[in-house]
Chains A and B, each alone.
Chain A
Amino acid sequence: MSAAAEILVPGKAGEGEALVLTAPISFWGGVDPKTGRIADVRHPQHGEVIAGRVLFLPGTIGSSSASAVLMELVHNGRAPAALVLHEPDAILLLGLIVAREMGWETPMAVRLERGEFDTYRETTAKVAADGAVTVAV
Chain B
Amino acid sequence: MSLSLSPEEQAIAARQDGAGMAMRIVAESARLLGAPRLIPIASTHIDGALYHGDSGTLFAERLVDGGAKVAVRSTLNVGALDLMGCSRIRLEEPQRGMARRMMEAYRKLGCEQSWTCAPYQAGHRPALGSDVAWGESNAVVFCNSVLGARTNRYGDFLDIACAIVGRAPDYGLHRPENRRARLVFDVSDLSSSFLTSEIAWPVLGSLYGREVGNAIGVVTGVAGHPGEDALKAFGAAAASSGAVGLFHIAGVTPEAPDIETILAGPEPEAVIRVTPQMVAKARAGLSTAAAAKTIDAVAIGSPHLSPAEFDMLERFIAGRRLTVPIYACTGRHALALLERDGGRKRLEASGVVIVADTCVVVTPIMPELGNGVLMTNSGKFAHYAPGNTGYAVLYASLADCVESAVLGRPVFTEIAA
Residues of A at under 8 Å CB distance from B? 8-9, 24, 26, 28-30, 33-34, 39-42, 59-69, 71-72, 74-76, 88, 90-95, 97-99, 101-102
User: CB distance A29 to B47 under 8 Å?
Assistant: no
Q: Can you name the residue of chain B whose Cβ is closest to the Cβ of A69?
A: B52
Report Cα–Cα, A60/B240, bound state, in Å. 11
User: CB distance B386 to A101 under 8 Å?
Assistant: no
- Given A59-B243, A67-B155, A72 and B140 contact (CB-CB distance below 8 Å): no
User: CB distance B21 to A101 under 8 Å?
Assistant: yes
Residue of A8, A61, A74, A93 with most partner-chain B CB within 10 A: A61
B158, CB-defined interface residue at 8 Å = yes
User: CB distance B25 to A98 under 8 Å?
Assistant: yes
B24, CB-defined interface residue at 8 Å = yes
- Given A29-B388, A30-B387, A66 and B155 contact (CB-CB distance below 8 Å): yes
B33, CB-defined interface residue at 8 Å = yes
Instruction: Name 19 interchain pairs, CB-CB below 8 A, sorted by A.
Output: A24-B213, A26-B240, A29-B388, A39-B387, A41-B387, A63-B240, A64-B135, A64-B140, A64-B156, A65-B50, A67-B155, A67-B156, A68-B50, A68-B53, A75-B55, A94-B158, A97-B28, A98-B59, A101-B25
Report Cα–Cα, A72/B21, bound state, in Å. 19
Report Cα–Cα, A90/B50, bound state, in Å. 19
B197, CB-defined interface residue at 8 Å = no
Report Cα–Cα, A112/B154, bound state, in Å. 24
Contact of A88 among B24, B32, B54, B387 (CB under 8 A): B32
User: CB distance A101 to B24 under 8 Å?
Assistant: yes
Report Cα–Cα, A41/B371, bound state, in Å. 14
B5, CB-defined interface residue at 8 Å = no
Q: Can you name the residue of chain B whose Cβ is closest to the Cβ of A109?
A: B32
Report Cα–Cα, A28/B239, bound state, in Å. 13
User: CB distance A64 to B136 under 8 Å?
Assistant: yes
In the bound complex, residues from chain A placing their C-beta under 8 Å from that of B153 are 64, 91
B361, CB-defined interface residue at 8 Å = yes
User: CB distance A29 to B387 under 8 Å?
Assistant: yes
Report Cα–Cα, A68/B187, bound state, in Å. 36
User: CB distance B387 to A72 under 8 Å?
Assistant: no
In the bound complex, residues from chain B placing their C-beta under 8 Å from that of A68 are 48, 50, 52-53, 55-56, 155-157
Q: Can you name the residue of chain A whose Cβ is closest to the Cβ of B22?
A: A101
User: CB distance A65 to B55 under 8 Å?
Assistant: no
User: CB distance B136 to A61 under 8 Å?
Assistant: no
B363, CB-defined interface residue at 8 Å = no
In the bound complex, residues from chain B placing their C-beta under 8 Å from that of A91 are 153-155, 158
- Given A30-B387, A65-B50, A67-B156, A94 and B55 contact (CB-CB distance below 8 Å): no
In the bound complex, residues from chain A placing their C-beta under 8 Å from that of B243 are 24, 59-62
User: CB distance A67 to B53 under 8 Å?
Assistant: no
Residue of A28, A66, A69 with most partner-chain B CB within 10 A: A28
B62, CB-defined interface residue at 8 Å = yes
Residue of B140, B157, B209, B388 with most partner-chain A CB within 10 A: B157
B242, CB-defined interface residue at 8 Å = yes
In the bound complex, residues from chain A placing their C-beta under 8 Å from that of B154 are 64, 91
User: CB distance A88 to B239 under 8 Å?
Assistant: no
Report Cα–Cα, A75/B53, bound state, in Å. 9
Q: Can you name the residue of chain A whose Cβ is closest to the Cβ of B392?
A: A41
Report Cα–Cα, A42/B288, bound state, in Å. 9
User: CB distance B137 to A62 under 8 Å?
Assistant: yes
User: CB distance B361 to A90 under 8 Å?
Assistant: no
B190 to chain A, nearest CB (A): 25
B171 to chain A, nearest CB (A): 9
User: CB distance B32 to A93 under 8 Å?
Assistant: yes
Report Cα–Cα, A68/B157, bound state, in Å. 8
In the bound complex, residues from chain B placing their C-beta under 8 Å from that of A102 are 55, 58-59, 62
User: CB distance B59 to A72 under 8 Å?
Assistant: no
User: CB distance A72 to B155 under 8 Å?
Assistant: no
Interface string of B94-112 (1 = CB under 8 A from A): 0000000000000000000
Residue of A39, A40, A66, A67 with most partner-chain B CB within 10 A: A67
B330, CB-defined interface residue at 8 Å = no
Report Cα–Cα, A90/B135, bound state, in Å. 12
- Given A28-B52, A33-B52, A75-B53, A64 and B155 contact (CB-CB distance below 8 Å): yes
B376, CB-defined interface residue at 8 Å = no
In the bound complex, residues from chain B placing their C-beta under 8 Å from that of A60 are 243
Q: Can you name the residue of chain B whose Cβ is closest to the Cβ of A66?
A: B155
